[in-house]
Amino acid sequence: MWYAIYSTDSKNSLGQRVALRPEHRARLQTLLQEGRLLLAGPRPAIDAADPGPAGYAGSLVVARFNSLQEARAWAEADPYVAAGVYEKVDVSPFLRVMPP
């Protein structure tokens, strides 16, 4: 099943986010290679493709896991969580309707 992982960044976490981006993206790349990643990306804090020093409000990942428990465990193992970049992470089932 698909799961949406909606993360909210901590205040003043942009420096840590940038430093840990390679590790964070490597985990996403693994999901992509396994055919389990539908989409992933940051949520800019302002209405701009490059938010500059405003940074990010968080991230959204939609990926396939065997269970909600597995999706939560994957999300909690993210380097952004360990470093405190993410203040909050919500994981919920996601039903993909379109595109098929």
Beta-sheet strand order (sheet of 2-9): 37-44, 56-64, 2-9, 86-94
User: Where residue 6 falls among pLDDT bands split at 50, 70, 90?
Assistant: very high
9-44 pLDDT tens trace: 999 999 999 999 999 999 999 999 999 999 999 999
**Cα dihedral 55, 82, 36, 26 in deg (nearest 10):** 70
pTM, rounded to two decimals:
0.95
CA distance 17 to 75: 15
Token pair of 39 as six digits: 């989409």
66-100 pLDDT tens trace: 999 999 999 999 999 999 999 999 999 999 999 98
16-25 pLDDT tens trace: 999 999 999 9
The confidence score (pLDDT) of residue 41 equals: 98
